[in-house]
Chain A
Amino acid sequence: MARIKGSTLTNGARVAIIGGGPAGSFFSIFASKLARDIGRAIDFTIYEKKTFTNHGASGCNMCAGVVSESLVQTLAIEGVNLPSSVVRWGIESYFFHTQNGSVQIKSSRLQQRGIATIFRGGGPAGSSEQGVQSFDEFLLQKAVEQGAYVKHAFVDEVRLEGDKPILFSGGKILQDCDLLVGAFGVKAGTGRMYEKLGIGYKIPSTIKATQSEIELGSDWIASRFGHSIHIFLLHIPGIKFVSIIPKGDYITISMLGKKTDVEHIKTFLSHPVMKKMLPSGFKIPERFCHCFPKIIVGAARKPFANKLAFVGDASSVRLYKDGIGSAYITSKAAAYTALLHGVGEEDFRKHYLPVCKTLNRDNLFGQFLFSVNALISIVSPVNRSYFKLIQWEQKNLQKDTPNSDILWDMLTGSRFYKDIFFRTLNPWPTIYVLGAMVISSFRKVFFPHMRK
């Protein structure tokens, strides 16, 4: 295929980025830095409609707000240390709560608070907590430090004139550009605009999640939730999975299920297992910050075209994990492609698409692993045996703990799913779990009156 001419970013080139969430900021940070390193003066302008310092939905990009272990480490290596004004809570372990009890899972590799919880915006609606810095604002400021401009505007139209993208807002021209980066996520309807351009782009498929912020006070949270993220698999009708993320004075409740709504949050908060985690006499507030954001379960089709690249949620994302970390991966890859290779369609196909494909392929392994996990949680004898195996390993962290490590990596997203998948092929845990199942069935048949 012929390479489209004039597809490199030379001195004086203009790059427009739609969206100042993590993907837009990461792209701008890496592209500006690289442009400087290779001695090119390029103009980077980020268009963002939200003000991240606002409390509640108007300042928030609505997510559970967990910055994964691998992203915390990667950012530190890149020279971006998350300050304590951004980090709401340092996390060192996970807790699993099931009908069969609870188990804490720690990393056998590093004993430290290596996971950060953050607020994407200025904090929950109605919160009066002082000194909270929005994660998205922090990253946006890092992009500004690297030389990017930020304009608060909603881009409501994009046209291609010849091969030049032109951006509009409210009928007025914002600018034309030599490269347009779509970092608009999936939560607004911006992606549809691109589908209409006829470039072959299609936004990824999504499902709805439910999120809420409940104020409990940091002392209570420290004593009851510790420095752990709590996962609940309680078989409440309509709810598949709940995680509780401590954040200063608040806990974020993030829920996946079938058409979950505020009533599901209330049902969960009233469940006996959860009640034990709440202060005595706790009453569900009449009004609390909540939202129903879309979570990605598929990949975008053709996340690039001539002078166009899509990054972050608008492109490829790791399944259920580390969305912000995926935004880092795709944005950096797109930035390096644009500056080191060019902004033509073929440049992106050759140098950017493989990165997206790696994430997409890895998600196939992820899908398989999540299905197996779901199966384990449904079939109670397997669940019980697996649970015991993990409990035993956690008590013996100095020994080999392959199953806990697998669970840790699944929960934290610290390793690619493919890597985890191949580790699950170890036959011993399966033999153990199946053995325990056989013993359990044997007991039920021959000693039905015997309690465990």
Chain B
Amino acid sequence: MSEESLLGRLYKDGEIIVEEGIQSRSMYVIQSGKAKVVKSDEDGETILALLGEGDIFGEMSLFDAIPRSATVKAAGNTRVLAIEHEGLLKRIKMDPTLAFRIIRQMSQRIRDLNTRLIFAQETINHANNKLLQLNKTENVCIKDRETKLSHIVTQLQEKLHKLTEQFIQGDETLQ
């Protein structure tokens, strides 16, 4: 692949493409490579989604001027094409169907979120029930197990993170 014939801008592994909290109004389409959508807090970074070639991100900025809701970073070398906000709005005004794919992708994301939300809700309910049962039948005091439980949760989180990283790298070596 000739470097001269690539479009957009190249981001190196880990480089930030859009940053949470910063206001900017461009939308992006991945030309080649992968990017991860992450949210950071004091406990570290949670990967919200993994994006691949052809995926659109930053589309929310089309509809509002509020700061970015998450950070998007390159996962490996990633080529990204920026879509200029004003020009796009003008094109959509002339041909509203141009927004179809953006809307389709947003609706897919809402579906995914709903599925994840339901899954999370079920897990919480399940855990609640189990804990209540334990409390009732065996008279176990959860307070005593708090440190152990939190240790298990941290371990699980680390494992999940490692798996995601491996998945990203594995996908890259496949290319």
Q: Which residues of A approach B to under 8 Å, CB–CB? A: 70, 72-74, 76-79, 81-82, 84-85, 87-90, 109-114, 116, 218, 222, 227, 248, 329, 332-333, 336, 358, 414-416, 419
Q: Which residues of B contact A70 (CB under 8 A)?
A: 87, 91
User: Is the Cβ of B4 less than 8 Å from the Cβ of A89?
Assistant: yes
Q: Please list 8 pairs of residues, one from A and one from B, whose beta carbons are closer than 8 Å in the complex, sorted by A's number.
A: A88-B5, A112-B7, A112-B8, A112-B9, A113-B6, A113-B9, A329-B95, A358-B94
Give bound CA distance, A82 to B7, whole Å. Answer: 8
Q: Which residues of A contact B87 (CB under 8 A)?
A: 70, 73, 109, 414-415
User: Is the Cβ of B84 less than 8 Å from the Cβ of A90?
Assistant: no
User: Is the Cβ of A336 less than 8 Å from the Cβ of B97?
Assistant: yes
Classify the secondary structure of A's interface with B. Answer: mixed
CB within 8 Å of A: which B1-18 residues: 1-2, 4-9
CB within 8 Å of A: which B57-95 residues: 81-84, 86-88, 90-91, 94-95
What's the interface size class on B, roughly? 20 to 34
Q: Give the Cβ gap from B95 to chain A, nearest Cβ, in Å.
A: 7
- Report if B102 contacts A (CB, 8 A): yes
User: Is the Cβ of A78 less than 8 Å from the Cβ of B4?
Assistant: no
Q: Give the Cβ gap from A409 to chain B, nearest Cβ, in Å.
A: 9
Q: Which of B5, B54, B81 meets A73, CB within 8 Å? A: B81
Give the residue among A85, A110, A116 with the most B Cβ atoms within 10 A.
A110
Q: Give the Cβ gap from A36 to chain B, nearest Cβ, in Å.
A: 13
Q: Which residues of B contact A72 (CB under 8 A)?
A: 7, 81
Q: Which residues of B approach A to under 8 Å, CB–CB? A: 1-2, 4-9, 26, 29, 31-32, 53-54, 56, 81-84, 86-88, 90-91, 94-95, 97-98, 101-102
User: Is the Cβ of B8 less than 8 Å from the Cβ of A77?
Assistant: no
Q: A90-B5, A110-B84, A116-B7 are in contact. List 9 more A-B contacts (CB 8 A).
A: A81-B31, A84-B32, A89-B4, A90-B4, A112-B9, A218-B2, A227-B4, A329-B95, A332-B95
Q: Which residues of A contact B9 (CB under 8 A)?
A: 111-113
Q: Which of B6, B53, B82 meets A110, CB within 8 Å? A: B82
Q: Which residues of B contact A332 (CB under 8 A)?
A: 95, 97
Q: Given A358-B94, A415-B87, check contact A77 B6 (CB 8 Å).
A: no
Q: Which residues of B contact A116 (CB under 8 A)?
A: 7
Q: Give the Cβ gap from B124 to chain A, nearest Cβ, in Å.
A: 37
Give bound CA distance, A26 to B6, whole Å. Answer: 23
Give the residue among B81, B82, B95 with the most A Cβ atoms within 10 A.
B81
Q: Which residues of A contact B53 (CB under 8 A)?
A: 81
Instruction: Please provide the 6 A-B residue pairs with the shortest distance between their CB atoms, ordered closest to farther.
Output: A76-B29, A87-B5, A112-B9, A84-B5, A84-B1, A73-B83
User: Is the Cβ of B6 less than 8 Å from the Cβ of A114?
Assistant: no
Give the residue among A73, A85, A111, A114 with the most B Cβ atoms within 10 A.
A73
User: Is the Cβ of A77 less than 8 Å from the Cβ of B98?
Assistant: yes
Q: Give the Cβ gap from B32 to chain A, nearest Cβ, in Å.
A: 8
Q: Give the Cβ gap from A146 to chain B, nearest Cβ, in Å.
A: 14
Q: Which residues of A contact B82 (CB under 8 A)?
A: 110, 112, 114
